[in-house]
Each structure stands twice: as C-alpha cells, then as structure tokens.
Amino acid sequence: MSGMHTLLLNKAKYKDELHSLLKLVSCSLDDCATSTMPILNNTFVRAHINLGFGLDTQEGVNSLPELVEFNAKHNPDHLFGVQLGSCQTSSGRRITFAELSLAVERTAGWLVRSGVTTGRSSRTDEVAPVAILLGSDVGIFIYILALLRIGTPVLLLSARLTPVAIVHLVKATGPSTVLTSSQVARSVKETILLLDDLPSKPRFVQALTADDFFDGTHCELQDMKVPPVYRDFHYNDRDAIIMHSSGTTGLPKPIYHAHAYPLVVASGHRLPEQKAPMHFNASTLPLYHGFGLGAPCLALSIGLPFVLLAAITIPTARSTLKQLESSNARSLFTVPSIIEDLLHEGDRAIEALQRLEFVAVGGAAIGEKVLRELMAHDIKLLNHWGATEFGPIAPIERPPPGYDARYLMPRTDTGLEFRPVEGSSQHFQLSGRPAGWDEELVVQDLLERHPRDASQYRILGRVDDLIVLGTGEKVRPTSIETAVKEHPDVRAAIAFGDGMDSLGVIVELAGADRGVARADVLTSLEPYLIRGNTYMDKHAKVSREMLVLTYAETKPLQRTDKGSLSRKVIFAAFECEIKDAYARVDAAAAAPLPSQDGPCALRHALRGIVGEALHLDSLGDLNDAADFFEAGMDSLQATRLRQVLLNSLRVTPNLPHPVDDLPRELIYENSSVNALFAFVERTMDGRAATAEHDAEKERLEAMRALVEKHTAELQSFDDDALNARTARGQSTPKEHDEKVVLITGASGSLGCLLLERLATDPSVNQVICLNRGGLEARQRQMDAMKERGAILDDDVWRNKVTVFGCDTSKPYFGLQAELYAELLSVTHIIHNAWPVNFNRIVTSFDASITALDNLVHLALFSATRNASDHRPRRILFASSIAVAGRYPLLNPGAGAVPETPLEAYMTGAFGYPEAKWVGEQTMLAANKLFGGGEQPLIEASSVRIGQMTGPEGSGAWNASEHFPIIVATSQKLKAVPELEGTLSWMPVNRAANALVDLLFAKDFAPVFHMENPARQTWSSVLKDLSALLGGAASVPYAEWLERVHALGNDPQENPASKLFEFLERDFLHMSSGLVALGTVRACSVSQTMSSSGPIERRHLEEYVHYWKSTGAMEA
C-alpha cells in the first residue's frame, strides 16, 4: 500500500480542476429540425393590473401570482410561451397557462418540502430570502412565481456576477438558500470558498429544472402538499423581489421591490387588445435582468407568447435568426450587439427583421451607423429604456409612422416626471416614485427632449459615472479610478468607454510634462492599475495601453463649478487621445501572425492569443484540443478573440488575399486551438472553402489524429504496466472470485439500471460510481435512481455502493492519492459516461476519451496492487450503433454489421459517432499494449448499443422522442401509418442486464453488439398499436402524412407539428432498419440477449399508459 501511495504521489502533479462543469454549448440552432410554430388563437382575456398610481380597481390583480391564477382560470389553454431545448427540436416545450399554474404549485411545494424555505402566511412572519443563481431559461421565472406565491423574498442574481459581487450581495441580503444549476458551477464553487469565514452561510442547492416541474414525474414531486398562497402583503412591503445595481463602489447594491414591481413590468406596453391572432415574441435576454423579465410578464398581461433560448445557448446572430424563423415570431427583444451582428448575416437576416412588427432594443446605445442601416431597411426599431428601480420606462409598442429610433417614448401611467437640468431648457432628468416605494428617485440619465415632439426624449449619457460598453455590459469605474488616483503624482482619473468594447482611463498627472518617457510613467502606474483591476469584472479590466496621460499644467481635466469632473466636456476635449488609445490597442493586438511556413510558431501565437482571451497566463492546463467554452469562455471573450484574430490577419504580410472579415460564428465553430489553427492556416494559405471530399478527408484525419494521441497516452503507461508484470512475477497466484465493478455515467437511464443490476448481484462485492460533482454526488445518484424506479435497499447503499464526485478526464480523476487508492481493488470497469450532443465536433469529446485513458491507467494500478490476482482487469466501453451508420451505404447487400472493428469512414459524419469510434480504437490499443501474452493485464471491449426504449414494468419512455409523438398524433387522427422494414428495440432494463452479461462473459471479445436480436416488422407493432388506439385505421404513410398536415400547426391539436420536416424527409429512411447490427457473438455469451424477445403488445400498453399518465396522450 505504501509503495502504491508513493507511486501515485511521485506522478506528475494533479491538474487543476476544470474551470466549470458547465458545457457552454454555443448552439446556433442551425442543425435543428425546423418547423414553423403556429399562429395563435387570440381569445385571451386580459386582467386589470393594479399598480398603485390611481387607476386601481377592486377586481384588479395585485401581484404576479394573482395574475397567474387569473390566467389559469380565464385563459387556461392559451399559450404562455415556448422554451426551446438544447438543439433537439425547434419547437421546444409549449407551456399553457394551466401548465404554468400547475408547475408553480409544484415548485412552491418542492421549495417548502425540500427545506429551501418555509414561506409565510402573515406579513409579520420572518422569512429569509432565497437567491436564484441559475442559467437563464423559463425555470428562473417559475422559481420567482413560486417564491412570491408563498411569500418568500426573491434575490435575483445575475449569472454574470463575479464571485466577489455574489458574496457582497449574499452578505447584504442574508438569503437562507441559493438555488444553483450546472451553468453557474464555476462561480458557485468560488463563491463558497469566499464565504468560508461567514458565520452564517446560505445553503447552495441544486435546483430542479423547469422540465421537472412541468412533467411532475420527478421523485421529489410525488405526494406533495401545495402550500397556501401568501396574500397578507401591503402595497409598500418592499420584500418581494430583490434586484441589484452595478453599485456605487464597483460592487452591486441590493434594490428592494414590492409585489407591484413585476406588475409594472407586465403593464409596460401600449399594445391594445386586438381581434387578430398574436404571434410569438422572441427574446434573447436573460431572465435575471429587468428587460429579460419583460417577455414572460407581457405573456401574463396581454397574452403575447414568448420564445426563449435554452440556458446552454449563448445568444448569437445565427441563434436569433433561427429562433425567429422557426417560431414565425413577429417581435423581438434583444440588445444592440445582436442586431449589429444580424446585419452582417445578409439578406436572409434583414428579411427576417423586416417581417417583425417591432424590434425592442435596450441595454446599451445603438451605434449611429447601425441605426442608419436599420432605418434604411425599414426595420421597425423600438428604442427601449428601463431602470432597475422603476422597471420599463419606455413601454413596448408598435413604432408609429415617422418614429425616430434615436428617441424614447416614455410611459405615462406611473407618475414619471421630466425635470429640467439646471441651466438648460432642453436637458432633463427623470424622477418619480417607483411602485411600492415611499420615496422619490431621480434617474441619473441625461435626457434631451425631441425638438418637435415634447413626449419623446433621447439619452445623451449618464449623469453619474456608469459606463455602458458596446456589448451592453454596465461598468461602474469608481474602483479603478480610485486605485489609480492613489498614485502620488496623479491628481485625477476618469474612465471612458461608452459604446466601446473595452474601458480606458484618462490620468491627470501633477505639474507639467517634464519629458519623462511614457513607458516609464506607465511602469510607475502599473501597480495601482493592477490593484484597481482586482475589483473589476473581467469585461471591465483596463490594460496599460488604455491609459491616456495628461498633465495639470498643460492640458488639465475640466471641472464644474463644484469641483467635480465634467465628463461630457472632458470626453469632447480628449476625443483625439481616446481614439488614439483604441487605435493603439488595436495595433498592439494586431501583431502579424507567423508565416504559415512555420506551423509551430503559428500554433504558439494562437495559444497566446487564446490564453489572453481566457485571462490565463498560459494554457498549460489546457491541451490544444480542449474546448474553449468548457474552459470558461463566454460570448464577450469569443467576440474579442475573433476581433484580435481579424486584426492580426489584416496586418499579416504576404497573404495571397487580404482578409477583410471573418465569420461571426468563427469561435463557436472552431472552439479549440486545433480547430482555430486549421482555420487560420487555411485562411493564410488562401485556400477556398473546403470541398466536400476535402471535408471527408479532414474529418477522417481528425479522427485518426485523436487515435494517435490517445494511443501515445496509453504508451506512456508502459512503466506502470512493467511494474504490474513485475509485481505479478514476484507473487504467488491465488484464486480470486471477488468482483469490484466501477461505473461511469451511473446517473443516466442506462447507468441507473446498471447500478441496480450490479448492486443486487450476489457475485458482485462492491460497485463504485465515478460521477461528476463533489460531495453531493451520492445524493444525486440516489435521486436519479428513485426517478427511474431503480430501487436499492438502505443496506445495499450503505455496504455495497460507493459514489465519488470527481472529474474522470483528469489524471487520477482529480482525487487525492488516499481516495484514489480506494479504487485500486477494482476488477471490472464500465465507461458509460458520454455527452449526448450531436452538434459538437469530434475533438470536443476529447475529455471523454481521456477518461477512457485514465480508466486504463487505473486498471494497470489495480493489477499492481492485487498482484496475486492474475485475472486481467476488464474494461467495457459503451459505444454506439452510429459508429456503423454508413456501413450499409458503403456495403450494399452485405447484411448485418459484423462484430468487428470498423474503419473510420464507416461512422456517421458528425462528432458523436466519430468520437465513439476513437474510443473503440483506444480500447483496441489497450488490448494490444497491455492485453497480450499468457497473463494479460487488461481485457478491453467496445459494445455498440442500438435503440433502447423505456424499462419494462414502468413504460417510462420519453414522450418527446419521435415515436411517442407519432403515436400521440395517430391517436388524434384515429389512423396509424403503414410502414415497411424492421425494428429492433431493446428495453433499457434488458440492455443493462445484457451489458452485465457481456462484462462477466467467459469469452470476452474486443467488439460486441447490443440490440434486440429479435427483429420484428413495423407492421406487427403498428397492428397492436392500432388496437390500443381503439381500432385506428391503417393508412399508407403518404396519406397519413397528409392528414398530419391537415391537423394544422397547433402542437396541442397536432403533436407531430414539430416534426413535419423530419417526417417528410428522414423518418422512412431512418426507421427502415437499414443499419442492422449482427449479434451472434453477443448472443452466444449473453443469456439476456439470446432470450430477448420482440416488443409485445404488453410493452406497447405500458408505453401508452405512461404517455397518457404524463399528458402526452389523451387519457
């Protein structure tokens, strides 16, 4: 034991933990199946909303939960909105008001039962706030509604806050709990560390998802009591919602609101009731910001249904364009940077914008050039304005004829006043009393009245010092200014950057210019600049190149009569110096790239550029295949990285063609150093877009390069293999029959059933699960088991199952040596964890393949530790039928796919199966390196897994998959389609049993296939299905498809409306059973496989019963 411990400790140092468990999948939606969402039926009944400004009625609603109740009663079947998923379908989840109300009740019940909060029934009850720190999707709004419903204050935290800012707000507001999700895992981890010295710390709870609350099937939502509604609030009780500002000292401050605040958001419109149906309103805005709350609040108030992107989708021009086109939206809420990028997408994007009734843009000013272009294309731009204290100030409306989008049209229903600024008849500030507040507030925006319309105003800038960057990010520069002013020779410092990509500072030095070199002055200022930057968010840090130097005796900073700096005057006086600063930064960033004749130099340069974009001193802990977004890159960094590359290419000499622009999606589509290197190398070489045959060649080369990489990694384990063989040679072999099985991916559907099967197997001594996460990994595994009906006794959990929260892509899984040593008794390994994402390129799966390398390493250490046990350590890799996706096309008439290794070109041409093929090759390499001889150390196998269905007994087959949708549509039509060909579905419980059979098989082979060997015809399944649907007629597929179209576009009436394109183009080909896996070898060693019968009527009965129980089919 001590020798192994020493061996582990003498290995290379463990790598730092990954920056985030968040998979920042920048999902452009371009590869999604598209279908036009329906035009909506406009039968919406509007509630009267009481705001407290003199127009209230007794019948009016006084809170957001009351508005939800009103809609559930009067508009139950009207569409609240659509939450798009992670590129699986363009239609997403449709939510009616009845479903919304039920989900809010479930959420309220879960919050109380899980101990997140107690809620309250009386305004004298004391209850701590609950903080929401989640990736942005409709789930944020569900939690807001549920917390307001039970009287618990909501602290709404932006996912973009730094951990320091989060800690500041937590200390200021004292929440009992912080609800979190995987999208903010990195910030949460750092926040928890910073809270260590706090005597009373909040709980950090992994929040259930919106889908959990809409579906209602999660184990924690069963037999749950719905808590009473909190109604004992007063109008001026400012303990409903806590927003936050950017802060006066660089840190945000909490802003407390009453229940009327979200109603002000909901009423912030001038859209009259109409007979014509309403179309969708698309929004790219996060729901933790005030403007972002506008879309769901307007859905509640006027029935304008929204379409929201998934939490993992970074809004881009392309994702927004797809969002508009797939939903047939007629309005858009967004920020200037998205609009500007849309203009670069060409005619298609412009036409999409022209179809909109209005485009509400807020968060930052729109550049004059962009504004002129939008107006030239007759795009109906609406200049939106709001404040965290007031909510929307300029309401949502259809722009009137002749409207100048440079101006705002403020609302008149909340008592706002425009007061002249002293000494000016055209300049104003807004003042008023926010809803629920007792005191008046003055907004710090400087406004200019329209010369011909006194009801319109233009924002000239901030009266105070808040800077709004061109990305929409708001920056309070006080901290950086204060830090620089601490230098003894600095008299004043003032930051600039409104409308630009980065921040700069004008520094006024005492005395006159004495001829001291600029570089020497900057060196003197640098320690103060560094100190100031520690207080700034990453998008607001100032580089030394962005310091503008001036001297008090030669060109002083202008001041007002009161002695304060006059920002507007200063910026006008230093216009040239500011432009020079940005030009200087561009020039510094625009260093020419090394010649393509020197690939090592080019790669090194790109690594430096990427490291700077990620704010890393080096990329030492990231390999060249690592995905930028997994390493923590955000959309702003991606934009900056693209710009730096463009600037560098523009000044690189001797290129065949000048580089004037780069694709807007460049970084999203080339999100690793390897991918960027290939793109830049092609660009510098002047090569045109890769032809189709070149693309095939490049994908095969990428796959083979990964195989070489991971084979080399395995070869680096040769010394460990030698140690294992030496230890065996020095030991006396003994009979061993214990089985210790390690599983990755145990929390998924197949993984849970594998764990249940192994943990209840008397021949298995222990099961070890390597899951993502930390100390909560065991509880999450137990929750996942319950959700899937996989039950283990408490004794089994206690004595037989061990769960480690770790990162399998790290050496030694990122575990301390003592914990890693606990794994060394392992005898069998199943690698089942794998990201199911069909949009990622093959190299972005590198971490999952690296996990396979690390599992091989573990097996070698186990062989050393247990030298007297001469059994080889077995590793079973869960591969996919998609590895053989092109086999029948390239081998017509060859029959079933053999259970043998396949060439790279046989795989489906996308990242998921390509990476699975690399995993298979890694297993073959492990066999070759460590499995030969009379006493092999390792036996490795890949199992290609085919289509699985829900488990027998429960019938819990995901209703959003295509076959359940076809069944639900056939019920509506009272007709089933006639289909030719065969299918080979395997219930997931059988699949788990079969994998265990293969794992323990006497004749273990390098490749197995796992699909139901009892292939059956579609006609036999559909005959039984017809009977279960009350004798539904059987009609030719083409006729059935025509009937589907005739049902219309409303998914409520036509479940298949979201699959029109798939059903017309792909379904027949994919469902015909063209890819058939040969299973002779697997059946010879697996009793489960050989005895597996076809899907019977009883299975269909279970599936139909389950779908009816979930509401996916009519009962």
Q: Is the Cα dihedral 120, 123, 128, 130 positive or negative?
A: positive
Q: 898: which DSSP letter?
A: P
The answer to whether the beta carbons of residues 1102 and 952 sit under 8 Å apart is yes
Question: Which residues touch 162 (CB under 8 Å, ≥6 apart)?
Answer: 187, 537, 538
Mean pLDDT to the nearest integer, 946-970: 84
Strand partners, 180: 133, 206
Cα angle value 622/196/209 (rounded, 5°): 65
Cα angle value 918/921/925 (rounded, 5°): 135
- Least confident piece of the model among 677-681, 789-793, 958-962, 996-1000: 958-962
**Pairwise CA distance, residues 537 & 560, whole Å:** 30
Mean pLDDT to the nearest integer, 568-592: 82
pLDDT at 1062: 59
What CATH number does residue 776 fall under? 3.40.50.720
For residues 962 and 814, state if they share a domain: yes
- Least confident piece of the model among 268-282, 295-309, 349-363: 268-282
pLDDT bucket at 774, cuts 50 / 70 / 90: low
pLDDT bucket at 92, cuts 50 / 70 / 90: confident
- pLDDT at residue 806 is higher than 80: yes
Give the amino acid at 264: V
Question: Which residues touch 293 (CB under 8 Å, ≥6 apart)?
Answer: 141, 262, 265, 287
Share of the chain above pLDDT 90, in %: 48
For residues 112 and 229, state if they share a domain: yes
- pLDDT at residue 738 is higher than 80: yes
pLDDT at 75: 94
pLDDT at 39: 45
Show the domain range for 928: 743-1109
For residues 579 and 604, state if they share a domain: no
For residues 972 and 936, state if they share a domain: yes
- pLDDT at residue 116 is higher than 90: yes
**Pairwise CA distance, residues 939 & 932, whole Å:** 9
Tokens of 527: 């320690």
For residues 524 and 604, state if they share a domain: no
Tokens of 251: 């840190």
Tokens of 878: 């869960």
| Distance, C-alpha 203 to centroid of its chain | 23
**Pairwise CA distance, residues 18 & 629, whole Å:** 11
**Pairwise CA distance, residues 155 & 127, whole Å:** 13
**Pairwise CA distance, residues 426 & 93, whole Å:** 49
Mean pLDDT to the nearest integer, 95-113: 96
pLDDT in tens, 978-1027: 988 888 999 999 999 999 999 999 999 999 999 999 989 999 999 999 99
Domain count within the chain:
4
- Count of CB atoms situated within 10 Å of the CB of 1073: 17
Tokens of 824: 């060394």
Mean pLDDT to the nearest integer, 1047-1073: 70
Tokens of 973: 């039509």
426 versus 147: the higher-pLDDT residue is 147
What single string gives the DSSP state of each residue in 515-577? Answer: ---HHHHHHHHHHHHHHHHTTS-GGG---GGGEEEEETTTSPPPB-TTS-B-HHHHHHHTHHH
- pLDDT at residue 842 is higher than 90: no
Tokens of 596: 């393509």
3-state secondary structure of 829: strand
For residues 754 and 820, state if they share a domain: yes
**Pairwise CA distance, residues 1114 & 1032, whole Å:** 14
pLDDT at 662: 87
296 versus 619: the higher-pLDDT residue is 296
Q: Is the Cα dihedral 599, 604, 607, 608 positive or negative?
A: negative
pLDDT at 732: 83
3-state secondary structure of 115: coil
**Smallest Cα–Cα separation from 1095: which of 916, 879, 966, 947?**
947
Task: Establish if 706 belongs to a structural domain.
Answer: no
pLDDT at 561: 40
Ranges 535-544, 562-571, 747-756, 787-796, most confident: 747-756
**Pairwise CA distance, residues 258 & 240, whole Å:** 5
Task: Establish if 626 belongs to a structural domain.
Answer: yes
The answer to whether the beta carbons of residues 965 and 1056 sit under 8 Å apart is yes
pLDDT at 788: 74
For residues 643 and 784, state if they share a domain: no
For residues 162 and 180, state if they share a domain: yes
The answer to whether the beta carbons of residues 646 and 662 sit under 8 Å apart is yes
pLDDT in tens, 882-917: 899 888 888 888 889 999 999 999 998 778 889 999
**Pairwise CA distance, residues 139 & 528, whole Å:** 42
**Pairwise CA distance, residues 216 & 22, whole Å:** 25
**Pairwise CA distance, residues 617 & 186, whole Å:** 19
Phi-psi group of 223: left, alpha or beta (phi > 0 → left; psi -120 to 50 → alpha; rest → beta): left
Helix (H), strand (E), coil (C) string for 393-413: EECECCCCCCCCCCCECCCCC
pLDDT at 35: 42
| Distance, C-alpha 825 to centroid of its chain | 37
- Least confident piece of the model among 608-622, 821-835, 1017-1031: 608-622
What single string gives the DSSP state of each residue in 998-1047? Answer: HHT-SS--SEEEES-SS-EEHHHHHHHHHHHTTSPEEEEHHHHHHHHHHT
State the alpha helices, DSSP H only, in 234-384: 260-266, 294-302, 317-327, 336-343, 347-354, 368-376
pTM across the whole model: 0.50
Task: Establish if 815 belongs to a structural domain.
Answer: yes
pLDDT at 5: 37
Mean pLDDT to the nearest integer, 43-70: 92
Q: Is the Cα dihedral 742, 748, 751, 757 positive or negative?
A: positive
- pLDDT at residue 100 is higher than 90: yes
pLDDT bucket at 845, cuts 50 / 70 / 90: confident
For residues 636 and 775, state if they share a domain: no
Sheet strands (E) in 161-289: 177-180, 203-206, 241-244, 254-257, 281-283
Task: Establish if 636 belongs to a structural domain.
Answer: yes
Domain boundary among 379, 394, 409: 394
pLDDT at 13: 34
- Count of CB atoms situated within 10 Å of the CB of 5: 13
Mean pLDDT to the nearest integer, 250-278: 89
**Pairwise CA distance, residues 164 & 518, whole Å:** 33
**Pairwise CA distance, residues 298 & 391, whole Å:** 13
Question: Which residues touch 72 (CB under 8 Å, ≥6 apart)?
Answer: 97, 98, 100, 101
Task: Establish if 362 belongs to a structural domain.
Answer: yes
pLDDT at 839: 53
**Pairwise CA distance, residues 326 & 91, whole Å:** 7
Task: Establish if 438 belongs to a structural domain.
Answer: no
The answer to whether the beta carbons of residues 268 and 396 sit under 8 Å apart is yes
**Pairwise CA distance, residues 64 & 775, whole Å:** 37
What CATH number does residue 526 fall under? 3.30.300.30
Phi-psi group of 1101: left, alpha or beta (phi > 0 → left; psi -120 to 50 → alpha; rest → beta): alpha
φ/ψ of residue 984, rounded to 5:
-145, 65
> For the chain, what's the residue count?
1115
pLDDT at 253: 86
pLDDT at 378: 93
Task: Establish if 436 belongs to a structural domain.
Answer: no
pLDDT in tens, 467-501: 877 666 767 787 788 889 888 888 889 999 887 77
What CATH number does residue 665 fall under? 1.10.1200.10
For residues 650 and 565, state if they share a domain: no
For residues 512 and 602, state if they share a domain: no
- pLDDT at residue 1061 is higher than 70: no
- pLDDT at residue 398 is higher than 90: yes
- pLDDT at residue 399 is higher than 60: yes
For residues 142 and 163, state if they share a domain: yes
Q: Are strands 93-96 and 79-83 parallel, antiparallel or unpaired?
A: antiparallel
Domain boundary among 662, 689, 716: 689
3-state secondary structure of 779: helix
**Pairwise CA distance, residues 661 & 646, whole Å:** 7
- pLDDT at residue 632 is higher than 90: no
State the alpha helices, DSSP H only, in 44-134: 64-74, 97-113
pLDDT at 1112: 82
- pLDDT at residue 24 is higher than 50: no
φ/ψ of residue 530, rounded to 5:
-60, -45
Q: 677: which DSSP letter?
A: H
pLDDT at 656: 86
- Count of CB atoms situated within 10 Å of the CB of 468: 21
Share of the chain above pLDDT 70, in %: 88
**Pairwise CA distance, residues 767 & 741, whole Å:** 5
pLDDT at 49: 94
Task: Establish if 48 belongs to a structural domain.
Answer: no
Strand partners, 243: 255
- pLDDT at residue 1066 is higher than 80: no
pLDDT at 615: 63
Q: How far apart are the two ends of the chain, measured CA to CA in Å?
A: 61
Tokens of 1104: 């139909």
